[in-house]
């Protein structure tokens, strides 16, 4: 019941803004080309997800995006790139971050390069990505991997380096080996930081996938948004943006649920 009240309370402001937006659109205070009404956007979104039989075959050529279920296909394409790119970036960042956090020598060796590359936005790699990988999925996945890499590695390093020294001394006094200390003390203590880095990295991956799809591929939500811009299909643009938000929200909720399950011991210690 408390969760329901919290959800309703959080929904008040968005609903109020939607009602205001709908009112302004229906009163003619804004052009439907520039900013269509929420009801029109919702209708287009539903039609794109579930093709409507109400459109006749004569009208079909004018509604290929809606009638073909293209939005669903584009969502699947974008999600595939996000998952693969995030997996590549995180799988590289996690072990390197653990090593840099646990070893001062490796940290001194690798940290200057990491700090030089970290401020460079993934979009700056677009020309090189196309030159190296051509067009299609590879450059997009490369850019997403870069976007996910740095949040994961920085949080992993911070998590390992912020382990309370009293735990390390206690483990050494009990005769634990260096590997046991790493596996049973450092890694569990750093897990909350790593989980936070994973969530941030996934959010960055969603940002980068849209940018990469604007230039390197011929499908995906970013590509459809750019296509809709060329034809001034504002409802299609906003429907694509809403889909991106819903996909990102779903992934974040799922990752948060997994993190809460894995870190239930950590919450117990905090209480």
pLDDT of residue 150: 94
With 0-12 CB in 10 A as exposed, 13-18 as middle and 19+ as buried, what is 59?
exposed
Q: What is the pTM of this model?
A: 0.76
pLDDT of residue 97: 92
pLDDT of residue 267: 57
Q: Which domains does the chain have, with CATH numbers?
A: 48-262 (1.10.3720.10)
pLDDT of residue 50: 61
Where do we find the tokens 């006094």?
173
pLDDT of residue 57: 40
Residue 50 backbone zone (phi > 0: left; psi -120 to 50: alpha; other: beta): beta
Instruction: Report the chain (271 residues): mean pLDDT per 10 consecutive residues.
Output: 68 81 77 73 69 43 50 85 93 92 89 92 88 86 93 91 77 77 79 88 87 80 83 80 84 82 62 48
Q: Rounded CA gap, 79 and 176, in Å?
A: 43
**For residues 224 and 79, is the Cβ–Cβ distance under 8 A?**
no
């Amino acid at each position: 019941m408390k969760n329901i009240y919290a959800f309703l309370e959080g929904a008040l402001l968005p609903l109020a803004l939607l009602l205001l937006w709908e009112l302004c659109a229906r009163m003619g205070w804004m052009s439907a080309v520039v900013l269509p009404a929420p009801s029109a956007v919702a209708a287009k979104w539903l039609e794109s997800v579930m093709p409507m039989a109400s459109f006749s075959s004569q009208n079909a050529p004018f509604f290929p995006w809606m009638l073909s279920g293209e939005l669903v296909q584009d969502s699947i394409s974008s999600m595939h790139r996000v998952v693969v790119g995030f997996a590549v970036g995180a799988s590289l960042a996690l072990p390197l971050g653990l090593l840099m956090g646990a070893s001062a020598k490796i940290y001194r060796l690798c940290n200057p390069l990491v700090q030089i590359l970290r401020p460079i936005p993934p979009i700056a790699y677009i020309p090189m990505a196309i030159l190296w990988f051509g067009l299609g999925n590879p450059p997009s996945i490369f850019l997403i991997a870069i976007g996910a890499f740095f949040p994961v590695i920085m949080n992993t390093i911070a998590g390992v380096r912020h382990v309370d020294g009293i735990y390390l001394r206690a483990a050494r006094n009990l005769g634990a080996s260096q590997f046991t200390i790493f596996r049973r003390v450092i890694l569990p203590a750093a897990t909350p930081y790593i989980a936070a880095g994973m969530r941030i990295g996934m959010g960055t991956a969603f940002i980068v996938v849209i940018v990469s799809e604007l230039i390197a591929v011929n499908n995906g939500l970013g590509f459809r948004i750019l296509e809709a811009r060329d034809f001034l299909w504002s409802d299609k643009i906003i429907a694509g943006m809403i889909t991106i938000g819903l996909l990102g929200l779903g992934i974040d909720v799922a990752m948060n649920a997994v993190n809460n399950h894995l870190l239930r011991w950590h919450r117990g210690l905090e209480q």
